[in-house]
Structure 1
Amino acid sequence: MGETLPPLDIDNGDMTATPAPIVSRPDREGVAVRLLKGSAKKSYEPVVDIDWAAPLADDKYFLPPQMSSLYGTRLWEQMSVQQRIDLSRHELVNYLSMGIWFENMLNQSLLRGMIRSSPTAGSTFYELTELGDEARHMLMFGKAIRRIGVEPFWPTGRHARSVNTMPFIFRGPMLWIAALVGEEIFDALQRRILEDGQEVQPLVQRLMRIHVTEEARHIQFARDGIRRDVAEMPLRTRWILANLHGLGATLYLKNFTRRGLYQRVGLDGAAAQRQARANKHFHDVQKLGFASLGEFLEELGLMGPLARRMWKRSHFL
């Protein structure tokens, strides 16, 4: 049992033709190590850190009313308080459903990228930590949706095919841009929920507190990744990257104001969608969500003319 095995003598043959793993840059390593320490000090386990058995309050919203896509519209004025609360319930579930889709896509992209990364690099260790965080977030969102008692908004048909294709597109610098588009907008909205949370369900406040705390590290890692990559990027790649992220604006607007969302609460889906998309109050919510990311993209010269037009057309700028 205590015998020491001799080292294996392996003939690599033609294995030298296989690309060596990419080793993370030293400066990137420092960021990864710092974030790893932060993860070790403050991370959560939603299964035990949230009281899933606590009753939901009948008179509390699931989003601050001012964040509703219909707040301030003619339809909103015609709705009872209970109808408004019910709308907030479905809008929250819509946000959480979108969060699950995105974190699923991000995890797939991170795993694909790790095939070419050194398994001993600090950046790989942090990416694995982020994978664990995102898996727990998907579980947390799923349990919240089940606790709230509303069916998730799940992609089907062509939409599902598009979602399944995205992990193959999110590679290299595009992965970090996609991560920021997916994380920063939701992060800003979640911080708004925490700031204006007096009318919001305690379950939702706890969920947002956990997600904001852990996503702050993910955002730092993605920002550091794109900040370092952009300096070495060919002009053509940079132009594509600076404009392609504008597609996120259309995706967000379409999903934030889906007709089925309004139909679930007994409203005319087409009329509600029109009023939501023309709603200046909701435009302010969208601009708040995009403000920090927009400033960062401008700072790096990654707000191209096509992307700017798309974000403006969808009322994020």
Structure 2
Amino acid sequence: MTAAIERDDAEANIVSMKDVGTEQVSERLLRSAARLSRNAMTEIDWSLPMDPEKYGCSPEWSSLYGTDYWNELTDEQRVNLTRHEFASIMCIGIWFEMILNEMVLRDQYVGDYHSSEFQFALVEIADECRHSQMFAKASEKMVGTSYHPHPKVAKLGKAFKVLAGSEVAYAGILVAEEVLDVFQRGCMRDERVLPFVRTVNEIHVLEESRHMKFAREQVRESVADIGWFRRQFSALSVAAGAYLIVTSLIQPQAYADAGLDVPRAMAERRENSHFHSMIRSSCGHLMEFLDEVGLLTKPAMRYYRKAHML
């Protein structure tokens, strides 16, 4: 299946000279989705027991990896921590995918129903619904706990999904998906990680490669003729949204549920240069794209640096 993912990545993420604009890209993505879409509900045997020695994500992606606290933990505690951390990431993913679905539906409201763009938007929404169900099932199996963003962040998310449109909405989608993409690519190939979690990561990487390509084309189209003020406002809006998403991925409650001292865990995460470098590494392509389309302004860069994305 890894080979299939690599083939689909090549198809979804490399711009062909024959593909000009959103409509032609959407046609190609529709064909890809018809061939390669997967369903975790039928593909994964959710009844299988979990190997107690397998991690929830690659240890190197733990927010505490390399800290004094990490070095003090037993192997069993490290496994437990990564399971709660990844469960938190999946639950925050559900929260943002619900925002994503509403934004895409609103963008395509009374669209051209016969266009490939409209039809792929519906495919993307269907994919995201299955992903949310998959994340819910996986986090339930792994730790039995649901995590949610801080109530203030949840309120800001409601405002974002109502107010964001065009390039802000689709660039916001890219932020969430690009960060998870690099993280999940590493975990899905790591035999130290629970097998069903690796499959969850494979499925998400495969299908999000199409979503990210679609979002990039939408952003390029939206910013083609916008003025200076709108570009500045959009860039700042995307960056503020990115800061909220990335800093919300691992909730403090995940540390508590893993049996850790929450204030100490949060303090060591804030100073963990290894974790910060991992986040930056996952944002390289995103920052290049935002710069390409003129959405990486100096005010926006301040938010990205605060979240260690730049």
Q: Deviations over 1:33-84 (max 9, x none)?
A: 1100000010012211112122211111111111000011111111111111
Q: Does 1:191 align with 2:178?
A: no
Q: Does 1:42 align with 2:27?
A: no
The 4+ residue runs of structure 1 with deviation greater than 6 A are none
Q: Do the aligned partners of residues 253 and 33 (structure 1) sit closer, same or farther apart at CA in structure 2, a change above 3 Å counting?
A: closer
Displacement, 1:249?
Answer: 4.2
Q: Give me the whole-angstrom Cα distance separating, in 1, the residues matched to 2:293 and 2:246.
A: 25
Q: Do the aligned partners of residues 174 and 253 (structure 1) sit closer, same or farther apart at CA in structure 2, a change above 3 Å counting?
A: closer
Give 1:113's match in structure 2, choosing from 104, 107, 117.
Answer: 107
Q: Give me the whole-angstrom Cα distance separating, in 2, the residues matched to 1:312 and 1:65.
A: 24
Give 1:267's match in structure 2, choosing from 260, 264, 282.
Answer: 260
Letter in 1 for 2:261: D
Count of residues paired in the alignment: 291
Give 2:175's match in structure 1, choosing from 172, 181, 189.
Answer: 181
The equivalent residue for 2:286 is: 293
Displacement, 1:146?
Answer: 1.5
Instruction: State percent identity of aligned pairs.
Output: 33
Q: TM-score, normalization: structure 2?
A: 0.90
Worse-matched range after superposition: 244-253 or 270-279: 244-253
Q: Does 1:241 align with 2:234?
A: yes
Give 2:272's match in structure 1, choosing from 270, 276, 279.
Answer: 279
Q: TM-score, normalization: structure 1?
A: 0.88
Q: Do the aligned partners of residues 256 and 167 (structure 1) sit closer, same or farther apart at CA in structure 2, a change above 3 Å counting?
A: closer
Letter in 1 for 2:165: R
Contact 2:88 2:250 in 1 (8 A): no
Q: Does 1:219 align with 2:191?
A: no
Contact 1:61 1:85 in 2 (8 A): yes
Q: Does 1:207 align with 2:200?
A: yes
Alignment of 1:118-129 (within 5 A): 118-129=112-123
The equivalent residue for 1:85 is: 79
What 5-or-longer segments of structure 1 have no aligned partner? 1-25
Worse-matched range after superposition: 162-171 or 32-41: 162-171
Displacement, 1:242?
Answer: 1.9
Letter in 2 for 1:254: T
Contact 1:258 1:273 in 2 (8 A): no
Q: Give me the whole-angstrom Cα distance separating, in 1, the residues matched to 2:214 and 2:157.
A: 23
Q: Deviations over 1:218-270 (max 9, x none)?
A: 00000111112221112211111122222134314532453222122222211
The equivalent residue for 2:300 is: 307
Secondary structure of the 1:177 match is helix
Secondary structure of the 1:89 match is helix
Worse-matched range after superposition: 247-256 or 139-148: 247-256
Contact 2:247 2:307 in 1 (8 A): no
Q: Does 1:159 align with 2:153?
A: yes
What 5-or-longer segments of structure 2 have no aligned partner? 1-19
Worse-matched range after superposition: 199-208 or 26-35: 26-35
Letter in 2 for 1:234: G
Contact 2:283 2:309 in 1 (8 A): yes
Q: Does 1:142 align with 2:136?
A: yes
Q: Give me the whole-angstrom Cα distance separating, in 2, the residues matched to 1:270 and 1:132.
A: 39
